């Protein structure tokens, strides 16, 4: 951006005083404007990334966001309903050390199924964690974690309905094992 700014100064024949250093440009940009920089997005939509988005696609996207928000508010009206969002987090290597040698050595993978729980009065996060020597990270493990959560977590007591939102990963969330687990 600083380079583009300098190019613009040359293009518009602005006086030398306008040709500021990068650090000054950065300072002005950060302190005088309500703008910020973010990291590149992850887990983006393949259709939108390919530039194939159309009106129907955008409508479906907004409908899904709206349906999620509606479900999230349901526990406020119904004490017997529990709302969950679940996602298997990116795998983490253990131990977490920055030494370059460690990058090339075999490290054990640590898995975490994050469950975000919303009931009538509160929200909380539950982590179901295990390492690769204990179990894999497929649909069976995700189903087991969910089942265990339902069996032991206090927030599941006296509930007649469970609303679960997840991404549509076929190997982990969107399959027969999860269907069987959530129907029992």
Read out DSSP for 80-145?
TEEEEEEEEPPPEEES----HHHHHS--EEEEEEEEEEE-SS-EEEEEEEEETTT--SSHHHHHHH
| Segment interacting with Zn ion (CB under 5 A) among 14-22, 43-51, 97-105, 130-138 | 43-51
> At closest approach, how far in Å is the CB of 48 from Zn ion?
3
What is the spatial distance between Cα 19 and Cα 8, in angstroms, rounded to a whole number? 10
Q: Which is nearer to Zn ion, 53 or 70 (CB)?
A: 53
Q: Which is nearer to Zn ion, 48 or 102 (CB)?
A: 48
Burial 159-184 (b: 16+ CB within 10 A, else e): eeeebbbbeeeeebbebebbeebeee
Q: Is 64 in the site for Zn ion (CB under 5 A)?
A: no
Q: Of these, 26, 47, 52, 180, which contacts Zn ion (CB under 5 A)?
A: 47
Binding mask 114-143 for Zn ion (x = CB under 5 A): ------------------------------
Q: Is 48 in the site for Zn ion (CB under 5 A)?
A: yes
Q: Is 45 in the site for Zn ion (CB under 5 A)?
A: yes
> At closest approach, how far in Å is the CB of 167 from Zn ion?
13
Q: Which is nearer to Zn ion, 30 or 65 (CB)?
A: 65
> What tokens appear for 7 in the block?
């190019």
Helix (H) or strand (E) holding 164: strand 161-165
* Contact criterion met (CB below 8 Å) for 91 and 109: yes
Q: Which is nearer to Zn ion, 11 or 55 (CB)?
A: 55
> At closest approach, how far in Å is the CB of 49 from Zn ion?
8
Sites of contact with Zn ion (CB under 5 A): 45, 47-48
């Amino acid at each position: 951006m600083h380079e583009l700014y300098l190019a613009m100064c040359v293009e518009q024949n602005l006086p030398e005083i306008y040709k500021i250093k990068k650090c000054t440009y950065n300072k002005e940009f950060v302190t005088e404007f309500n703008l910020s920089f973010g990291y590149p997005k992850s887990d983006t939509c393949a259709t939108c990334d390919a530039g194939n988005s159309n009106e129907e696609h955008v409508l479906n996207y907004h409908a899904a966001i709206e349906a999620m928000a509606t479900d999230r508010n349901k526990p406020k009206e119904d004490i017997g309903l529990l709302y969950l969002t679940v996602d298997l987090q990116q795998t983490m290597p253990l131990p977490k050390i920055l030494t370059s040698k460690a990058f090339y050595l075999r490290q054990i993978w640590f898995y975490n199924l994050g469950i975000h729980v919303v009931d009538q009065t509160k929200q909380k996060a539950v982590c179901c964690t295990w390492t690769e020597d204990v179990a894999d990270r497929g649909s069976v493990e995700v189903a087991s974690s969910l089942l265990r959560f339902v069996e032991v977590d206090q927030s599941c007591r006296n509930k007649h309905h469970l609303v679960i939102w997840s991404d549509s990963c076929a190997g982990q969330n969107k399959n027969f094992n999860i269907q069987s687990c959530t129907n029992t």
